Amino acid sequence: MRKKSLLSAIAGLCMVPSLFPTTALSAFPERPVRMIVASAAGGGTDIIARLLARKLSDDWSQTVVVDNRPGGGGVIATDLLAKAPADGHTLLLQSVGISYAPALYRKLPFDPQRDITAVTIVGAQPFILATHPAVAARSVKDLIALVRSKPGELRYASGGVSGASHLGTELFRVTAGINIAHVPYKGTGPGMNSVISGETQLIIAGVSTVMPHARNGRVRALAVTGGRRSPAVPELPTVAESGLAGFAFDVWYGLFAPSMTPKPVLSRLESGATGALKDSETIRRFNAAGIDVNGNGSADANRYLRSEMSKWAKVIRDAGITAN
């Protein structure tokens, strides 16, 4: 009798909505969702976040609030996510920087593989390899040959230590086996200006940073860094096509949640995000911003994140890069 009474009591508790988790999960999201963004307002990551947040707000009938938390190479924003309640109402929009942070920083306040999970890879955009017009190279193959003939003499600009332009160029340098000196600036804008003036000789930077100057003849755009040609500049070959087989560097952007997010909620996040990224108007808006939409599932996104962490750990180790 006691056993029967106990089972009846448990069954009764399971019928109470406040104590039965799946009832709450079925209503997700039940309040506004916070999307932390690892960049200042107006930056590339912020633009992507706002495009996605707008679509998710419409689809979920809940406001998705963009919360800009720049600084620390994305560490500040990622730490906020890692320590947030794992209920799906706090997300993170972060760039490729999340994959090389573990190798760059000796001490992180979080463990990316333990504390966060990828919902989807939103999309990616290539950068452009450009030189000062006086550099005697018309292709990537020419540039590699020139640098090898003058080891250490050519200098490349970046937007700062551990930024995408820095890590992308180091990947290029290590893959090509060449010796070029790094000159960091406070942003890719000043770095671009140094190439225009001839203070440095080359840069890897975003399409919107490079192409206005390339079209005016102030720099020479040699190739896009991605795995395929960019619809934004279809006339430019990839670095791999142009002389460095196997090279690919895309600045990708991912949507992340705390790792302990319940599977039903993670599934709802995944279906919402991937569904939004299949919308034709959303794709058009992303393409207009130079972003190739991905929108893969969480399992694929997490495999990709792990492979990127492994790749960047080797690049950072081989290049001897440190951030602290």
Q: What is the pLDDT of residue 220?
A: 97
**For the whole model, what pTM was predicted?**
0.79
Query: Domain 32-124+251-319 maps to which CATH number in 3.50.30.30, 3.40.50.2300, 3.40.190.150, 3.40.50.300?
Result: 3.40.190.150
Helix 298-319 and helix 97-104, axial crossing angle in degrees, nearest 10 = 40
- Fold (topology level) of 126-224: D-Maltodextrin-Binding Protein; domain 2 (3.40.190)
The pair of structure tokens assigned to 307 is 């492979």
Mean pLDDT along residues 6-13: 50
Cα-based distances in Å from 235 to 211, 220, 230, 290: 12, 13, 9, 15
Domain span(s) for CATH 3.40.190.10 in the chain: 126-224
Structure-model confidence comparison of residues 11 and 31, the more confident one? 31
Q: Yes or no: say if 251 and 207 are a contact pair by the CB < 8 Å rule.
A: no
Q: Which amino acid is at 30?
A: E
CB-CB neighbours of 145 under 10 Å: 14
- d(C-alpha 52, C-alpha 49), whole Å: 5
Structure-model confidence comparison of residues 104 and 214, the more confident one? 214
Sheet strands (E) in the chain: 33-37, 64-68, 90-95, 116-131, 155-158, 181-184, 202-206, 220-224, 250-258, 292-293
Q: What is the pLDDT of residue 22?
A: 46
Work out the mean pLDDT of the chain and round it to a whole number: 88
Q: Which residues contact 261 (CB under 8 A, 6 or more apart)?
A: 86, 87, 88, 117, 269
Helix (H/G/I), strand (E/B), else coil: 83: coil
Q: What is the pLDDT of residue 113?
A: 87
Q: Residues 104-151: pLDDT tens digits?
A: 888 889 998 899 999 999 999 889 999 999 999 999 999 999 999 999
Q: Yes or no: say if 95 and 45 are a contact pair by the CB < 8 Å rule.
A: yes
Q: What is the pLDDT of residue 5?
A: 53
Domain span(s) for CATH 3.40.190.150 in the chain: 32-124+251-319
Structure-model confidence comparison of residues 206 and 183, the more confident one? 183
Q: What is the pLDDT of residue 20?
A: 38
pLDDT at 308 over 90: yes
pLDDT at 235 over 90: yes
The two beta strands, 220-224 and 116-131, are antiparallel
